[in-house]
Amino acid sequence: MSVHSTLRAHLVLSSRFGNVEVAERALVDLCDQVGLDRDHGYWLVTALREAVANAIRHGNRQDPDRLVVADYRVEPTEVTIRVEDEGDGFDIASVPDPTDPGHLLRPSGRGIFYMRQFMSRVDFSRAPGGGTVVEMTRCFEPEMKESAR
């Protein structure tokens, strides 16, 4: 595949936790097609898993009639993931900091923290019809190729 290739995918998933794996598989396949290193893919999949699980659990409150939409744009030097739910939305400022000593032992609340650690940029916004959109981008340095001899 050409180093200038851009691949895209659009998934519409019901709010079932089994669909997290469907979203992951699609992302891994796209990353493989553009030749991204598996190490890069691991961090992308971890951020995606958190975003989709949050959309199902917190956004759509596990209502299988509500949908999660995932869009991917995958290039050899950059990957953008957009996840949208049909929930009521939330105030990002109200999410407790999981690194705060009072929250260290909480069993949940680290998803957004992980997304921000693993991605170059993470933005939250309201979806046009309500709900939440998270858009995450990870940029990679172009890999230096050995010159042909």
Q: What is the pLDDT along the chain (149 residues), one digit of tens a residue?
A: 445 689 999 999 999 999 999 999 999 999 999 999 888 889 999 999 999 999 999 999 999 999 999 999 999 999 999 999 999 987 777 776 766 777 566 656 678 888 999 999 999 999 988 899 999 999 987 654 443 33
Domain presence at residue 102: yes
Domain presence at residue 1: no
What the block records as the tokens of 24 is 């992951």
Q: Residue 131 is part of which domain span? A: 7-139
Domain presence at residue 83: yes
Length of the chain: 149
Domain presence at residue 35: yes
DSSP H helical ranges for the chain: 19-34, 38-54, 111-118
Domain presence at residue 148: no
At 107 the pLDDT is 57
Domain presence at residue 33: yes
At 104 the pLDDT is 61
Instruction: Please count the structural domains in the chain.
Output: 1
Please return the burial class of 48, using the count of CB atoms within 10 Å of its CB with bins 0-12, 13-18 and 19+: buried
User: Shortest CA distance to 69 belongs to which of 88, 50, 56?
Assistant: 56
Q: Provide the CATH number for the domain around residue 24.
A: 3.30.565.10
Domain presence at residue 118: yes
